[in-house]
Structure formats: C-alpha cells, structure tokens
Amino acid sequence: MLGRVVSFSRALHRAGVEVTAGHVIDLCRSLGHVPISNRTDFYLTARANLVSRQEDLETFGQVFRTFWETALRDLQPDPSDTDENVCGEDADGEGETEKQIDVLDWAEEDPEAAEADENESIGYSPDEVLAQKDLASLTDREIEEARKVIAAIVDIISTKISRRRMPARKGREIDFRRTWRRNIVYGKDGVNIATRRRKIKKTRLMLICDVSGSMDCYSRFLIQFIYGLKRELKSVEVAVFSTHLTVISNLLRTKGVEESLAEVARSVQDWAGGTDIGKSLREFNEKLSRDMLRSNTVVVIVSDGWDRGDADLMRREMERLRRRAYKVIWLNPLLGSPGYQPLCLGMKTAMPYLDYFLPAHNLQSLVDLARTLRAVWI
C-alpha cells in the first residue's frame, strides 16, 4: 500500500498538484484510522491530506479516478500478508494501468446527487459474451443488440450532471438567493419559495475516424457509435480520413443510421483506401481546427496507427493538435489483441502526444471510453 500511495503522489505531482513528503506522511498516518475498503472515506482522506489549493481539487479527482484501478476493498491489509502481497505489485508501483473506477463525488451528498450517481453507473443488459465479442465478428442479430447498448452508452455520456445549478419549478434544492428576492415585498414573513436543480452538462467532442482499408471491418460499426453520439450531442463534430480528411457531421443528421451510413459511403471518395494520417491531420489543423476546436474540446482519434505517410509531418501535426485541444484520446481496435505493442511507425509517432490510449474492439471498450470521457470532462 505504501508503494501505491507514493506512486499516486508522483502522479499528482506530474499533473501539477503540489504534493510534499509531509503530505504523503500525513496520508499514511491517516490511513490507519479510516477503512480504506470504503471508497468515499479513502477518497476524502487522500484529498484532505494531499490537496492544499482550491484550484487543484478537480485535477486531484481526475488523477484519483485514473490511478486507483484496484478495488479499494482488495487493498485492506491482511496481517498474514507481506507488504509486497498487500500492494499487489512492487514498491515502485509498476504494473499500473489507466483504467477507470467510479468514485463518489465529495460534493454530491444531497438526494438529487445520489440519484445522479445511480444514473452515472455505466452498464447494460446483454450477456458477457456479446460484451467481449470482437466488433468485426458480430452477426446481424448481435449488431441489433449492440445498437441498444450503444444507445445506452450515448445516453450516459450526453447527460452528465453539472455542479452548476439552474432555476426549476420542481427542483429539490431551495434557491435561497431567489427566495429572498421574491419575498422582499412580504416583509419578514416569506411565503414564496424558489427551487433549483443541477444542470445537464453537454460534452464537446471532436471525433476523427480512420476509414482506410485496414480499419474497414471496424469503421462501419464505429461510425454507428459516432452516429448515436451526434444525434444526442449537438456539440459533436465528426470527420473521417484515409488519404484525405472529410467532415461528415452534416451527413449524420438524417433520420436513420442506415441512411446516414449510405450517405457517408457515397460522399467519402477514399473509403477503404490507403492511410496518410499526417496529411489528414494537416488538413484538419489548417482548415478546420479554428472553427471546430475550443480549449475545452476532447479530440478522439480512432485508428489502428498503420500509416504510409511522412512520420515527421505526422509528428508536427500531432503536436499542433495537442496544443489546441483539452485532451487527446486515441482508440485503437488492435489494442484489444493479446500481446499487442504499439510498434508501427504511426502509433509510435503519436504516443507522446496522447492523454489516453484505449482499445476499441468490442462493446466493453466503448463502455470504458464512456467512463473515461466522464472522468476527464471539465
């Protein structure tokens, strides 16, 4: 456990949170007085000891979610275990991955927030076999089932509860400021109570999908996922690329997914062609990024990384894209394959500029993407 705490403090430091050795010592002492198997208690204890500035609270929450992969109840020390066994890894914290866990938010203690927590749990009804099955091998019936799952995932992404409040007739919270203003005319006896509720935060996304020949077995299904996002989130922009970049946001506004896919296939001239990631990103950076990117935009690139273009050009364009976007997430269907390593030139070139590198080969990976988007969204 000590190794995990030290590694966690280093992750916070890399993210810009000022963590000193004294803070880490205080946290280690505190863990002897709280049940670390309780996620909320552990989260609040760590935050109270490691965060000293108000502006670091949000960063702390994001790093906490990405770091603590292991269920906290499994970290409860057992007297018969050695330190190495308790940690589940060596003291240097090796073997950690960037999967997400759900953590109760410290600010959500009212009934409405509790309901929001329930809505934020990302799950679905199909069996485990469908969830883990490769997208390229789904039958027609399984694709119909998968579309229902996608709809549920999209709904969760599109309805994240904001911390901000807005006036509401049937809100569960009393809006004291508006209540006082309304009751000025009544003197000391207030009779008109104003209420409020929490806003729905709409995610702003830029999706760039590879439709080259090597991605053909995945791209059509992923376009369906993107179609669902576009239907629910007006602030989503979508582009596809092979040797050139084509914006398809307007093509995804028709009534049905099949009509949209047919229109996209007709409009994208280089569908299932070669791959030139650097050239496509240059087209985006020079012609579209000014209008489509904001400081709070999360860019999601979907590609296997196989590139026939200029590696130096791709490196420059990835650097430009990373400077303009809030976060850059790369989804690679090959990452779900056992033993995969990002050794191809395109993937090696992109890796230094990515915030998240995630698989996109089955439905479970799309669920994990939804969790990641909710965790990183500001």
- Domain locations along the chain: 2-87, 160-201, 205-376
Task: Return the pLDDT at 129.
Answer: 65
Q: Please write the tens of the pLDDT for every residue from 183-227.
A: 777 776 767 788 887 766 666 789 999 988 888 778 767 777 787
Q: What is the mean pLDDT of the chain?
A: 75
pLDDT at 283 over 90: yes
Whether residue 124 is predicted with pLDDT greater than 70 in this model: the reply is: no
Looking at residue 57, what is its pLDDT?
Answer: 87
Element (H, E) at 246: strand 245-247
The pLDDT of residue 281: 95
pLDDT value for 110: 41
Nearest to 313 by CA among 342, 284, 343: 284
How far apart CA 267 and CA 277 sit, in angstroms, is: 19
Report pLDDT for 118.
38
pLDDT value at residue 116? 42
pLDDT at 190: 64
- Mean pLDDT is highest, among 14-18, 47-51, 105-109, 339-343, for 47-51
Q: Are 44 and 21 within 8 A, CB to CB?
A: no
CB 129 within 8 A of CB 137: no
Helices (H), 199-243: 216-232
Q: Which residue has the higher pLDDT, 154 or 90?
A: 154
Contacts of 128 (CB under 8 A, 6+ apart): none
Q: Which residue has the tokens 């582009």?
A: 239
Each residue of 307-352: pLDDT tens digit?
888 999 999 999 999 999 989 999 998 888 888 888 888 999 999 9
Position 232 confidence tier, pLDDT thresholds 50, 70, 90:
low
pLDDT of residue 159: 58
Specify the amino acid at residue 263.
Answer: E
* Residue in 33, 53, 57 with CA at minimum distance from that of residue 45: 33
- Average pLDDT of the residues in 140-168: 69
- Name 197's bridge partners: 166
- pLDDT at residue 160, rounded to an integer: 59
Would the CA dihedral through 326, 332, 336, 342 be positive or negative?
negative
Residue pLDDT, tens place only, 245-261: 988 888 877 656 677 77
Query: Between the CA of residue 137 and those of 44, 132, 180, 361, what are the distances in Å?
Result: 44, 11, 61, 10
- The pTM (predicted TM-score) of the whole model is 0.58
102 pLDDT above the threshold of 70? no
> Residue 64: what are its φ and ψ, rounded to 5°?
-60, -45
- What is the per-residue pLDDT for 134? 72
63-96: burial string, b at 16+ Cβ within 10 Å, e else = bbbbbbeeebeebeeeeeeeeeebbbeeeebeeb
Q: Which CATH superfamily is domain 205-376 in?
A: von Willebrand factor, type A domain (3.40.50.410)
85 vs 25, residue with greater confidence: 25
Stronger pLDDT, 77 or 310, i.e. the higher one: 310
Cα distance between residue 98 and residue 277, in whole Å: 25
pLDDT at 86 over 70: no
Q: Write the DSSP assignment of 105-170 as a string of letters.
A: -TT--SHHHHHHHHHH----SS-HHHHHS-GGG--HHHHHHHHHHHHHHHHHHHTEEEEEEEE-TT
